[in-house]
Structure 1
Amino acid sequence: MSWLTFQDGDSRESNPKLGYAYGLVADLGFARNYYFSTGLLINTLYSQAMASGQADLVQDMTYRLQYAEVPIAIKLKTNAGSVARFYGQFGFTAGVNVSGKERIAPSTQYRAIEGDDLFRLGLLIGAGAEWRLTNSLSAITGLSYNNGFTRAMKDGRPKLSYTALNIGLLF
């Protein structure tokens, strides 16, 4: 679920929408139960905004922003149990804009956003569990929150944040 928070004081309301991400993540151990977590994710985020225009005309806009992101985090894990191992993580994400599009209702076609920013930085906080499937394979489930530091585009100066349900396999 991602949403935009507008900074320019205009009357836009943002509603969260579902998006998706995929990629590879690596946990590199540097001490017992302490890991450096990084990777490469392609993150597609959607958000809907309602803006009041001239003559009380309300515009319904949907944004689709796609980033290639690199998370840089410290992950703290509990000792391995017979079934699961729990973790918490804290760090940052750095992203490069791959695509930025907007759709203004009633149109069904997306068009390129003029003035979308190239880079995105965000704060990453998360927690979850690694479920042991075999000796060398675990399923990962978790929740994370990513708070955007930088603006996503020039118009309205919105910051893009999201919460994510993380699901994956750890080899």
Structure 2
Amino acid sequence: MKKTILFVLFIAATQCIFAQKVDLGFKIHPLVGWFNGTEGNATAGGPRIGYSYGVMGDFYISDNYAFATELAITNITGKLDYLGSKENQLKMRLSYVDLPISLKLKTNKSSSNPFRYYGQFGFMPSFKIGGKIKNDAGDQTSISSDLQPVKASLLIGGGTEYTLQDNTRLLLGITYNSGLSNVFKKSEGFSSKVSYIALNVGVFF
């Protein structure tokens, strides 16, 4: 997995070096996250609301195609029912640094239409910052040592960009992030992936 992540990052870095144009901006997105593909002593317990924020960049290959990446802090939340019981429900928040690499396809620019639409598909390696767990009594405990240092996921999304003036554009879109790897260490007695749907709001300068 680590070799795959390094290879993807290397290819993306190479493409960015030879990019014809670069757009940079800031973004924030609220998200709804959940655990899935759970096995062992726990079952998925339902979604929770999280958030992400950071900087983003589009590195253009041509006028309509760009490699899109971000440097973002993401807090994904969800619920797990330990031993399959809602009486033992655990509310979790997992924090990561995300470095997604995706191909973004955009519609043509038009002087008469300020809107430009896009779709994107890519791969996201995420690096652990930490994690917390909260029980029904409200007690919080760190679970950072129980998490894998790196997780991987696929992302697919789409949206629109609205031109305000020159290169200044507002971005609004939706992204689905599908977890590929177990986020917990094998010693925990269960495994689970984590996925989320996010509303992307940002501005390019």
**Tell me, which stretches of 5 or more residues in structure 2 are unaligned?**
1-31
Question: Given residue 51 of structure 1, which amino acid in structure 2 is its aligned partner?
Answer: Y
Q: Report deviation, 1:41.
A: 0.6
- Does the 8 Å CA contact 2:89/2:136 hold for their aligned counterparts? yes
Question: Given residue 191 of structure 2, which amino acid in structure 1 is its aligned partner?
Answer: R
Which has the higher mean CA deviation after the structures are superposed, 5-14 or 42-51? Answer: 5-14
- Does the 8 Å CA contact 2:100/2:123 hold for their aligned counterparts? yes
Instruction: Give the equivalent residue in structure 1 for 2:93.
Output: 64
2:200 paired residue among 151, 166, 169: 166
**Residues 113-153 of structure 1 deviation map (CA, whole Å, 9 limit, x = unaligned):** 14211101100100000011111211000000010111111
Instruction: Give the equivalent residue in structure 2 for 1:31.
Output: 62
Instruction: Give the equivalent residue in structure 1 for 2:139.
Output: 109
User: Does 2:73 match 1:42?
Assistant: yes
- Does the 8 Å CA contact 2:93/2:131 hold for their aligned counterparts? yes
Q: Report deviation, 1:50.
A: 2.2
Which has the higher mean CA deviation after the structures are superposed, 73-82 or 44-53? Answer: 44-53
Kindly tell me the number of residue pairs found equivalent between the two proteins.
Answer: 168
Instruction: Give the equivalent residue in structure 2 for 1:97.
Output: 128
Which has the higher mean CA deviation after the structures are superposed, 62-71 or 147-156? Answer: 147-156
Which has the higher mean CA deviation after the structures are superposed, 9-18 or 65-74? Answer: 9-18
Percent of aligned positions with the same letter in both sequences? 33
- Does the 8 Å CA contact 1:84/1:131 hold for their aligned counterparts? yes
Question: Given residue 135 of structure 1, which amino acid in structure 2 is its aligned partner?
Answer: D
Matches of 1:68 and 1:98 in 2, distance apart? 7
Instruction: Give the equivalent residue in structure 2 for 1:123.
Output: 154
Question: Given residue 130 of structure 1, which amino acid in structure 2 is its aligned partner?
Answer: E
Structure 1: which 4+ aligned runs deviate by more than 3 Å?
none
- Does the 8 Å CA contact 1:52/1:58 hold for their aligned counterparts? no
* CA-atom RMSD in angstroms: 1.6
Relative distance call for 1:12 and 1:134 in structure 2 (3 A) is same
User: Does 2:47 match 1:16?
Assistant: yes
Aligned to 2:74, the other structure's residue is in SS state: strand
Aligned to 1:163, the other structure's residue is in SS state: strand
Q: Report deviation, 1:51.
A: 2.8
- Does the 8 Å CA contact 1:102/1:111 hold for their aligned counterparts? yes
Instruction: Give the equivalent residue in structure 1 for 2:5.
Output: none
Relative distance call for 1:58 and 1:6 in structure 2 (3 A) is farther
Aligned to 1:80, the other structure's residue is in SS state: coil
Aligned to 1:46, the other structure's residue is in SS state: strand
Q: Normalising by the residue count of structure 1, what TM-score does the alignment of the two structures yield?
A: 0.92
Matches of 2:150 and 2:93 in 1, distance apart? 15
**Tell me, which stretches of 5 or more residues in structure 1 are unaligned?**
none
Q: Report deviation, 1:48.
A: 1.5
